[in-house]
Amino acid sequence: MQRSVLKNYAKLLARMGLNVQKGQEVIVAAAPEVREFVLLCVEECYRAGAAKVRVEWSHQPLQRLAAEHCAEEILGEVRPWQEEKLRCEVRELPARLYLESDDPDGMQGIDAEKYARALQMRQKIVKPYRDKMENKYQWCIAAVPGAGWSKKVFPASIASVGQEKLWRAILSASRSLEGNPVANWQAHNRDLQARCEYLNGLGLTSLEYRASNGTNLRVGLLREGLFAAGSEKTLSGVEFNPNIPSEECFTSPRRGEAEGIVYSSKPLSYRGQLVRNFSLRFAGGRVAEAHAAAGEAVLRRMLEMDEGAAYLGECALVPFDSPINRTGLLFYNTLFDENACCHLALGRGFTNCVRGYETQTEDELHALGVNDSMIHVDFMIGTDDLEIDGVTDTGARFPLFRGGGWAFRVD
């Protein structure tokens, strides 16, 4: 891929993704195999005004070895120096750029029970610090093609060709392959915000989903809930784009109000393990049954991560003819596949999807019905015949999706 194109992509992530503020610290989380692009990102963050950019390296093969050989209590421990690091981040609120590049199958076959228990141990210590940072700092998740990921998406191509193809797909989906990426995203954000304004003006209290694959689900919405999309703002007013790419208008549903069944439309890659062709039946807002053609044990263990893991935390509307879906590719990566079509998420909800969230505590927002959990896992449900109706407390119905796409227009 041309260096000039990659520099523009790095600039997009620093300027629109993170919107680095003058004098701010930045943390970039990435794998060593994408170090050349990491250099471009670090340079662009400094150009944007960062005082210090720190890179935190992670290598999936090393994570796999640790999962296979370390005792469970070692995998799950948080050392004192690591906890002090979290305290420092709570104080200083660095912007965080996550560059995804891992092999979707890279952790397949490990002891999922052991790994999940270790994660639970870690999260008991880590989550309170993350909660203190909620809505206070900028973050962005983006992607770079790793060798294993490229091979998964383009199995018939030689390594270099596969990575080039995946680069083009990533950049195209991120509106960074042609034209001015920053200007492209400014226009895209305006379109997404216009759709949210329409949705937020309807006074919806539930969403009803129907599709020929058997999906028949009703999800309750927060009475003070809001749809959001594209860019967000920190509590201090700094605008940023947490996901690049992003095609969704999303909201947090009301915990405890989900009834019916939903079928997945794409595989789920959860911590390096794939779950395929699964269904979830909800009763009383909670997953009552879970079945999968492959990876069912992984799915069931995920639902047991904590008390909130089996409840919904997000409803996201994405047209089936989205630019990502039109590529015809299955990315095996949630960041992309979730933006290919409509999806739901299990686990943690978004507190900033509530009117006046700025003036309320986390506990108050959870009391209103925003779900809380250590996980937030998106799974795709969009099909070319998906229908979604929005319903108000008076029974008024508004068609939101027909034939898998938007059933309304915005100017």
Dihedral of CA atoms 247, 5, 22, 96 in degrees, nearest 10, equals 50
Q: Is residue 384 part of a domain?
A: yes
The parent domain of residue 283 ranges over 191-406
Q: Is residue 268 part of a domain?
A: yes
One-character DSSP codes across 245-297: S---EEEPEEEEEEEEEEE-SS-EEETTEEEEEEEEEEETTEEEEEEEEE-HH
* Phi and psi torsions of 237, nearest 5°: 95, 10
Boundary-marking domain end, from 173, 208, 230: 173
Cα–Cα distances in angstroms (integers) from residue 296 to residues 44, 50, 400, in the given order: 42, 44, 32
Residues 71 and 138 in one domain: yes
Residues 202 and 152 in one domain: no
Residues 56 and 161 in one domain: yes
- If you search the block for the tokens 């937020």, which residue do you land on? 200
Q: How far apart are the first and last CA of the chain?
A: 36
CB atoms within 10 A of CB 364: 13
Total domains, the chain:
2
pLDDT at residue 321 in the model: 87
Residues 203 and 60 in one domain: no
CB 348 within 8 A of CB 372: yes
Boundary-marking domain end, from 146, 173, 200: 173
pTM: 0.82
Compute the distance between CA of residue 1 and CA of residue 12 in angstroms, rounded to an integer: 16
Q: Is residue 333 part of a domain?
A: yes
Q: Which helix (H) or strand (E) holds 28?
A: strand 25-30
pLDDT at residue 83 in the model: 95
pLDDT at residue 365 in the model: 92
Residues 87 and 223 in one domain: no
pLDDT digits (tens, 9 = 90+) for 61-79: 999 999 999 999 999 999 9
Residues 197 and 56 in one domain: no
pLDDT digits (tens, 9 = 90+) for 227-257: 999 888 999 999 999 999 999 999 999 999 9
Average pLDDT (376-383) is 93
Q: Is residue 186 part of a domain?
A: no
Residues 152 and 254 in one domain: no
Q: Residue 92 is which amino acid?
A: E
Judged against a pLDDT cut of 80, whether residue 271 lies above it is answered with no
pLDDT digits (tens, 9 = 90+) for 8-36: 999 999 999 999 999 999 999 999 999 99
Residues 167 and 197 in one domain: no
